[in-house]
Amino acid sequence: MPVALASQLREGTKKAHTMAENTGFVSCFLKGVVDKASYRTLVADLWHVYSAMEAEIGRLADHPIVGPVAFPQLNRRDSLEQDLAFYYGPDWRQQAKATPGAQAYVARIQEVARQAPELLVGHHYTRYIGDLSGGQVLKTIARKAMNLGEHDGLRFYEFDAIDDEKAFKANYREILDQLPIDQATADRIVEEANQAFHCNMKMFQELEGNLVAAIGKVLFGFLTRRQRTGSTEAAVA
């Protein structure tokens, strides 16, 4: 009997999702305080993460558990490269170095792909469906905060290959629930999804020093003083 993986992922990652949203960097971001230097470092980190993810997912396209969620419409690497060219210029590859947090995130993805590829589903869900769900809100915040054009440096949030996001996510949930896994594997996938949130938090925490330098300790403390209920807790997928 199929397991209800979609709902287990949603419910099983709520706490981690809230913790990620309450990191200093994300708290400030959601309140419209975005430092461009810190943000472009994040874009560089995400490029390294998605490059690793998409390389491994592509290699495992025929895997019975990974393959069904390997939608090319979700791929972010090319979009991130456009954003990096905007922020860093034509020599962005020489400048967009991975931070230690991003390096650890990449290493985790590669380790899972080698040792237990089915667990990549947890990383895939956490990254892509989270981006698809909150992308437009975050794009609007970033554009206003950094005074950007409609698309300049914001391609990461644009899923041009997906016409109906609601229908796409509904189909994604159905596929998750039909994967050929047992409950023990589902539990491990949820655990790995929480690990993915932990990897994200490490990257965010590394950016806080630059953000404090940009906006000052007093403002940073004011913006991050209160813990907030996760805005995306309700339903990520």
The number of distinct structural domains making up the chain is 1
Q: Which CATH number does the domain housing residue 68 bear? A: 1.20.910.10
What DSSP element (H or E) covers 219?
A: helix 217-223
Task: Report the pLDDT averaged over residues 93-102.
Answer: 96
| 12 is a domain residue | no
Structure letter (DSSP) for residue 179: S
Helix-then-strand count for the chain, H and E:
12, 0
What is d(CA 54, CA 113) in angstroms, rounded to the nearest whole number? 11
Nearest in space to 191 (alpha carbons), one of 131, 123, 129, 110: 123
Least confident of 143-157, 174-188, 202-216: 202-216
Q: Is the pLDDT of residue 115 over 90?
A: yes
| 22 is a domain residue | no
| 124 is a domain residue | yes
User: For residue 121, what are the domain limits?
Assistant: 35-223
* pLDDT tens for each residue of 161-194: 999 999 999 999 999 999 999 999 999 999 999 9
Angle between helices 183-215 and 5-12 (to 10 degrees): 40
| 13 is a domain residue | no
| 215 is a domain residue | yes
Q: Is the pLDDT of residue 235 over 70?
A: no
What is d(CA 168, CA 174) in angstroms, rounded to the nearest whole number? 10
What is d(CA 56, CA 112) in angstroms, rounded to the nearest whole number? 10
| 123 is a domain residue | yes
Least confident of 9-18, 102-111, 228-237: 228-237
Nearest in space to 126 (alpha carbons), one of 7, 2, 5, 17: 17
Nearest in space to 159 (alpha carbons), one of 141, 184, 134, 176: 134
Question: Residue 39: which residues within 8 A CB-CB, separation 6 or more?
Answer: 87, 142, 146
| 6 is a domain residue | no
Binned at pLDDT 50, 70 and 90, residue 126 comes out as: very high
Give pTM, 2 decimals: 0.90
